[in-house]
Structure 1
Amino acid sequence: MGHGGDVIAELTTDHREVDELFEQLDNAMPGSERRKQLVDSLTIELVRHSVAEEQYLYPAVREHLDGGDAMADREVADHARVENLLKELEGRDAGDADFDRLVRELRTEITSHVTDEEINLFPQLREGVHGYLLESLGEKIREAKKTAPTRPHPSAPSSPGVSKLLAPGLGLADRARDYVTGRGK
């Protein structure tokens, strides 16, 4: 969480970390507690990443790129689908009948989203946004991830202004809950 560099480097590194967590999940024993722990780690990373993107990246996309509103709307819709899947997974044990199906659906959604960002969105950002702004966005993303929630909250508003107000409080509550339960260790 917090790798340095501009927003594209920061988010691309997050993507590779998520890829690695999925690889570890593939290698974990079906139904094992390790699979649940890996899904918890995925959830923490994906929620922090999504909240930070919604707070800072997508408003910049809307402002600086031609067709930015449509691009940002598509990305936010992807996040909503992922967050709903994460919420469904949150209450399941690794041995539950739907656990593996939900993980496969999550991976499909994440793979599609990451591919779209890396092939379409990131090159447009690199071309259309000044390097100074990309660096500044990278720092804002890193800061946002420090206080972002660690659990899915699909009913929470995703608009940047409201998210900036609510996310730190939700994040604090989530981290306290994680500490008590040992989640994410």
Structure 2
Amino acid sequence: MGQGGNVITELTTDHRKIDALFEQIELQPVGDQRRRQLADELTVELVQHSVAEEQYLYPSVRRFVDGGDDLADKEIEDHARIEQLLKDLEGRDAEDDQFDHLVAKLRLEVAEHVRDEENRLFPLLAEVCTPEALEHLGGKIRDAKKAAPTHPHPAAPDTAPANKILGPGVGLVDRVRDLLAGRNR
């Protein structure tokens, strides 16, 4: 995920990668197991991206942006809906009659969330933060994604400080689980 740089560049790069994964899923024949593999990749990207935003982006929005509490709360609510869809999708075979429906619903939720971040939240953050602060925040986001979980955990805390304390441990457990299941990237 991501390429480096400031937080807005980092997260926008993630958004494009997520869009590309949705497109790859849709290009596979219905019921093809490659759809399931791509959905697993998508899940990892979305979970790690969301966890990093919840740990570092939204606290910064709360601190620096006027009306930041409401903005951050709305984005966290979006994440909760997305994470529940990911949980519903997890473990479903590509041939499951709900698989394609869940992927389509997930894509709509993610697209709306991305539009809101890129068109509203990111410009507001860029107005109030120095380039150095945005760069520093980008580094924190990259570091958080490395330790973040790889599976959805809808019941896990999504606000600081609990998410920063528990997230890396859950991430470690998920990576061991992935290793044992052969779900390595």
Superposition TM-score, scaled by structure 1 size: 0.98
Where does structure 1 differ by over 4 angstroms across 4 or more consecutive aligned residues? none
Mapping 1:91-170, distance limit 5 Å: 91-170=91-170
Alpha-carbon distance, 1:179 to partner: 0.9
* Residue of structure 1 in register with 2:3 after alignment: 3
Equivalent in the alignment of 2:179: 179
Structure 2 partner of 1:13: 13
In the alignment, which residue of structure 2 is the partner of 1:71? 71
User: 1-side partners of 2:3 and 2:160: how far apart?
Assistant: 23
Per-residue CA deviation, residues 119-143 of structure 1 (Å, 9 max, x unaligned), is 0011111111111111110000000
Q: Residue type of the partner of 1:26?
A: E
* Alpha-carbon separation, structure 2, partners of 1:4 and 1:53: 15
> Unpaired runs of 5+ in structure 2?
none
The one-letter amino acid of 2:45's match is E
- 2: distance between equivalents of 1:166 and 1:156? 8
Query: Gaps spanning 5+ residues in structure 1: where?
Result: none
**One-letter amino acid of the structure 1 residue matched with residue 79 of structure 2:** H
Equivalences for 1:84-95 in 2 at 5 Å? 84-95=84-95
2:61 corresponds to which residue? 61
Question: Given residue 3 of structure 1, which amino acid in structure 2 is its aligned partner?
Answer: Q
Contact 1:44–1:150, Cα closer than 8 Å, also in 2: yes
Q: Secondary structure at the match of 2:161?
A: helix
Q: Aligned partners of 1:151 and 1:184: how far apart in 2? A: 12
Q: Whole-Å Cα distance in 1 between the matches of residues 83 and 97 of structure 2?
A: 20
Offset of residue 2 of structure 1: 4.1
Once the 2 structures are TM-superposed, how far is the Cα of residue 184 of structure 1 from its aligned partner?
A: 4.3
Q: In 2, distance between residues paired with 1:113 and 1:97?
A: 26
CA distance in 1, matches of 2:3, 2:164: 21
Among the aligned pairs, what percent are the same residue?
60
TM-superposed CA distance for 1:91, in Å, is 2.1
RMSD: 0.8
Please give the secondary structure, in 2, of the residue aligned with 1:160: coil
Which amino acid in structure 1 is aligned with residue 168 of structure 2?
P
Distance (Å, rounded) in 1 between the aligned partners of 2:160 and 2:108? 26
TM-score by length of 2: 0.98
How many residues are matched?
185
Distance 2:91 2:28 in 1: 19
